[in-house]
């Protein structure tokens, strides 16, 4: 981990050496929190099983995903002999990682919302994907079907690969780059009007799969695509290349740190939504930065 600049990452080492609120603050300000080993129960037999999995290059199922709230597994065919075992491995990984994060980031308390987890068995380098789906271009995360209304997207990753690092690029944090980008460029997200948002709420209330997005969610979806489309940002943002070595674990707010995955195979990930009220440094949250930059309330 010595290759990581302290401006980019915090190496926890063998055990936490700072109060939990300090780690929350560092994450919220755009740092990566790095663990040389997985800091929760992740049995070797589960790692071995995952490394034995082969996934096609299908655009439909690039990942295997698990939804803890409904205990649903996607991306593995119903007739697969490995489906039950994969379900068990993903369920355990989600539970163990969630228990760890709840304790390690104690100030978030019971406000953490457990979102999806995924297993990514494909080699990232050289994948044939459309521009907006490419992982090797710098972007910030936003979920089209799961709006956060200003809540933050926290993710914890494990590089399951025993022999190869996972290579990322990491850019400057949101509160640093967004005001400069907004000043230098004409950013023009399309906001759904009040009537449209009201209709979406009605539709969602009767069970229709219609996301109820705030202005914040619409801006972040727009920004995700804009950053990938911007050659200038991709080349001149000051992003740094980092390598997450075999067997390591890291966490980062992927809505607030532009990131790209250049290479790597076999990674696990668990996502959390952290509400605005839980943050310890709320003024650097993307929703706060956008409200300050645009002069517009964004979370409604």
Cβ-based neighbour number of residue 11 at 10 Å: 15
pLDDT over 80 (residue 215): yes
In a domain, 249, yes or no: yes
**Of 94, 127, 137, 121, residue with least CA distance to 239:** 137
Angle of the 44-51 helix axis to the 83-104 helix axis, nearest 10: 130
The pLDDT of 125-132, averaged and rounded, is: 93
Q: 32-35 and 9-11 as β-strands: parallel, antiparallel, unpaired?
A: parallel
Query: Structurally, how many domains does the chain consist of?
Result: 1
d(CA 282, CA 152): 10
DSSP 153-200: EEEEEEE--SS--EEEEE---HHHHHHHHHHHS---PPPPPHHHHHHH
In a domain, 300, yes or no: no
Q: What is the pLDDT at residue 141?
A: 98
pLDDT over 60 (residue 57): no
d(CA 161, CA 28): 28
In a domain, 135, yes or no: yes
pTM: 0.93
d(CA 290, CA 181): 12
Long-range contacts of 11-17 (CB under 8 A, 24+ apart): 11/36, 12/39, 16/104
Question: What is the overall mean pLDDT for the chain?
Answer: 91
Angle at 190 between CA 189 and CA 196, to 5 degrees: 145
In a domain, 219, yes or no: yes
pLDDT over 50 (residue 58): no
Q: What is the pLDDT at residue 190?
A: 86
Per-residue pLDDT tens over the stretch 100-126: 999 999 999 899 999 999 999 999 999
Question: pLDDT tier at 193 (50, 70, 90 boundaries)?
Answer: low
The pLDDT of 50-62, averaged and rounded, is: 62
Q: What is the pLDDT at residue 206?
A: 57
87: domain CATH number? 2.60.120
The pLDDT of 235-247, averaged and rounded, is: 96
In a domain, 299, yes or no: no
Question: pLDDT tier at 202 (50, 70, 90 boundaries)?
Answer: low
Q: What is the pLDDT at residue 56?
A: 47
Per-residue pLDDT tens over the stretch 149-191: 999 999 999 999 999 999 999 999 999 999 999 999 999 998 7
Q: What is the pLDDT at residue 38?
A: 98
In a domain, 102, yes or no: yes
Q: Tell me the percentage of the chain whose pLDDT exceeds 70.
A: 89
In a domain, 1, yes or no: no
In a domain, 3, yes or no: no
pLDDT over 80 (residue 54): no
Per-residue pLDDT tens over the stretch 253-265: 999 999 999 999 9
pLDDT over 80 (residue 267): yes
Domain that holds residue 105: 9-294
Q: What is the pLDDT at residue 199?
A: 55
pLDDT over 80 (residue 198): no
Q: What is the pLDDT at residue 192?
A: 62
Helix (H) or strand (E) holding 263, with range, is strand 259-263
d(CA 292, CA 283): 9
């Amino acid at each position: 981990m010595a290759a990581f600049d302290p401006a980019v990452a915090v190496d926890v080492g063998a055990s936490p050496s700072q109060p939990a609120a300090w780690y929350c603050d560092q994450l919220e300000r755009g740092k990566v929190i790095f663990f040389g080993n997985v800091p929760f129960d992740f049995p070797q037999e589960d790692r071995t099983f995952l490394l034995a999995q082969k996934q096609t290059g299908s655009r439909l199922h690039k990942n295997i995903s698990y939804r803890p709230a409904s205990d649903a597994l996607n991306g593995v065919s119903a007739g697969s002999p490995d489906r039950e075992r994969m379900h068990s491995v993903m369920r355990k990984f989600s539970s163990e990682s969630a228990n760890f994060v709840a304790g390690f980031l104690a100030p978030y308390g019971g406000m953490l919302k457990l979102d999806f987890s995924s297993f990514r068995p494909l080699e990232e380098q050289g994948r044939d994907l459309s521009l907006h789906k490419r992982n090797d271009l710098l972007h910030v995360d936003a979920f089209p079907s799961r709006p956060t209304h200003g809540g933050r997207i926290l993710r914890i990753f494990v590089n399951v690969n025993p022999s190869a690092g996972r290579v990322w690029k990491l850019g400057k944090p949101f509160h640093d780059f967004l005001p400069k980008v907004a000043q230098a460029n004409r950013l023009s997200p399309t906001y759904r009007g009040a009537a449209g948002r009201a209709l979406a709420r009605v539709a969602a209330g009767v069970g229709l799969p219609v996301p109820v997005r705030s202005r914040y969610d619409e801006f972040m979806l727009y920004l995700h695509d804009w950053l990938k489309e911007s050659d200038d940002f991709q080349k001149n943002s000051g992003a740094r290349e980092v390598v997450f070595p075999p067997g390591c674990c890291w966490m980062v707010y992927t809505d607030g740190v532009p990131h790209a995955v250049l290479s790597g195979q076999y990674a696990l990930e668990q996502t959390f939504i952290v509400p605005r009220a839980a943050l310890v440094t709320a003024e650097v949250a993307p929703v706060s930065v956008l409200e300050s930059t645009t002069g517009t309330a964004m979370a409604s």
